[in-house]
Amino acid sequence: MNMLHAESLRQDPRIAQAKQLIAEAMRDHSASMTDVSPSDPDQSANYQSLIDGFTCARGGPPIWPYFASGLGNGPYVELADGSVKLDFIGGIGVHGGGHSNPDLVSASIDAAIEDTVMQGNLQQNPASIEMMQRLVSLASESGAPLEHVLLSTSGAMANENALKLAFHHRQPADRIIAFDNAFAGRSIALAALTDRPAYRNGLPKAIQVDYLPFLHPDHPEKSQRWAVDELKRLLKRYPGKHAAFWAEPIAGEGGYYPGSHDFFTALCEPLREAGVPIIFDEVQTFSRTSRPFAFQHYGLDQFADIVTVGKITQVCATLYRNDFHPKAPILSQTFTGSTSAISTGLATLDALQSTHCFGADGGNMKRHAYFAEQLQKLVDKYPGSISGPFGEGMMIVFTPGDGTLDHAKLLMNLMFEEGLLGFLCGAEPARLRFLPPPMITTNDHIDAAIKLLDRSLEKFVSQK
């Protein structure tokens, strides 16, 4: 069989040599980024012009003054003002390999020499098929009956497609059951599902949503009983009207509250009896627990009807059981994912496996235990200024001060000034979260983050 022209290009030694030269140059220029450093005064005017330009174009200032230079070293990133920060939020969980990851850069170069920038409904390259097969294989490896997958360009689009599948399957059912503090995305339908009234201010209410209390870490049995009782009440009040139960296995924007096998099983069994489809939103949780999917981490494979992923996978996706395959053309989109996103997504899946992130004694769970231990030392050192529960796996969270949004924002900004990047989540209490890159984070990186957080807390105590 004759070699395809494209394969001949990929195997051209000039491509390999170019990739090697690029990798060497990146190592040389990023090697010194092994600690945080302050901004360069000579860059201040240019940096302010970036902030002003963003503010003018967007109509408001950035959440924080983060504009990267384009180079980093693992969890360290250089900003365009010359400062170096320890990035433990990673674009809210997107950058699983940190910054300037050589494997992901190599995958990006492979994508750059492909014929198109974007894959789509009418044109897909073999890599998109490989991504689909890999995701289905990972999702079904311990028994979940997930056979099909649709790639998409965002977590919100993946979640929209999940809703479409559920409504189509259960028509004419028109209600959704979700948890208090749920977050699903920013589209009109997902804003209606998200339990944040401010996020749908002025928007029409697209769907009817009923909410359940989530598992409370201090009162697991009581909160489980309340959730089950409320679920049964809703099922009795609206018989046959619920198109789906929507669940983040670990509450994301709501505050990083972990679920459990017993809690979800107690809810999923009556949902099964009532014929209500179960959707697990894994856009934020994928790759951060003992298994690739958090529903696997909690042993919920038998209940997975539809599952969404995104963020760290670069290209997003909706996975679903065969009996949810639509009988009408409701799933279609011009863009299913950029060529680069698909290529780097595959490289990310490879790295998550090769760096042994998964397993009960794998890297994710070991790093969580170490991180939580170090945070507890700060709790003891600064009573009343920081408290747990600290999250699950590589989703780390703590409560600053009295849990008010003012306290959370104050400490977040102090951390930023010290060189540590974390971000807000939750409400009543408001919390600060870390999403360290699971593929490359070490205990030394965690120690560096704790040192910076310690310095931030010293200032926080005096200012709160």
**Domain match, 270 and 214 both:** yes
Is the CB of residue 258 less than 8 Å from the CB of residue 252? no
Q: What is the pLDDT of residues 170-179, one digit of tens each?
A: 999 999 999 9
Q: Which domain holds residue 145?
A: 112-354
The answer to whether the Cα torsion of 165, 168, 172, 174 is positive or negative is positive
Q: Domain for residue 142, yes or no?
A: yes
Q: Domain for residue 436, yes or no?
A: yes
Identify any residues that bridge with 400 across adjacent strands, giving them in sequence order: 386
**Domain match, 379 and 239 both:** no
- Please state, in angstroms and as integers, the Cα–Cα distance from residue 274 to each residue in 47, 161, 176, 234, following that order: 57, 23, 13, 11
**Domain match, 215 and 312 both:** yes
**Domain match, 140 and 173 both:** yes
**Domain match, 412 and 376 both:** yes
**Domain match, 337 and 446 both:** no
**Domain match, 423 and 397 both:** yes
Query: How high is the pLDDT of residue 2?
Result: 87
Q: Domain for residue 104, yes or no?
A: no
Q: Domain for residue 193, yes or no?
A: yes
Token pair, residue 213, equals: 């209390």
Identify any residues that bridge with 78 across adjacent strands, giving them in sequence order: 84
Query: How high is the pLDDT of residue 137?
Result: 98
Token pair, residue 168, equals: 């189509």
Query: How high is the pLDDT of residue 3?
Result: 92
Q: Provide the domain count of the chain.
A: 3
- Give the rounded distance of the alpha carbon of 375 from its chain centre: 22
Q: Domain for residue 325, yes or no?
A: yes
Token pair, residue 207, equals: 């769907």
**Domain match, 131 and 241 both:** yes
Q: Domain for residue 103, yes or no?
A: no
Query: How high is the pLDDT of residue 267?
Result: 98
Angle at 117 between CA 159 and CA 343, to 5 degrees: 65
Q: How far apart are CA 431 and CA 461, in angstroms?
A: 16
**Domain match, 169 and 263 both:** yes
**Domain match, 54 and 19 both:** no
Q: What is the CATH number of the domain that holds 46?
A: 3.90.1150.10
**Domain match, 298 and 224 both:** yes
Final residue of a domain: which of 354, 385, 406?
354
Query: How high is the pLDDT of residue 237?
Result: 98
**Domain match, 27 and 38 both:** no
Final residue of a domain: which of 296, 326, 354?
354
Query: How high is the pLDDT of residue 205?
Result: 87
Q: What is the CATH number of the domain that holds 268?
A: 3.40.640.10
Q: Domain for residue 106, yes or no?
A: no
**Which residues, given as ranges, of the chain have pLDDT below 70?**
none
Q: Domain for residue 100, yes or no?
A: no
Q: How far apart are CA 375 and CA 450, in angstroms?
A: 7
Token pair, residue 179, equals: 């948890």
Final residue of a domain: which of 354, 380, 415?
354
Token pair, residue 309, equals: 């992923």
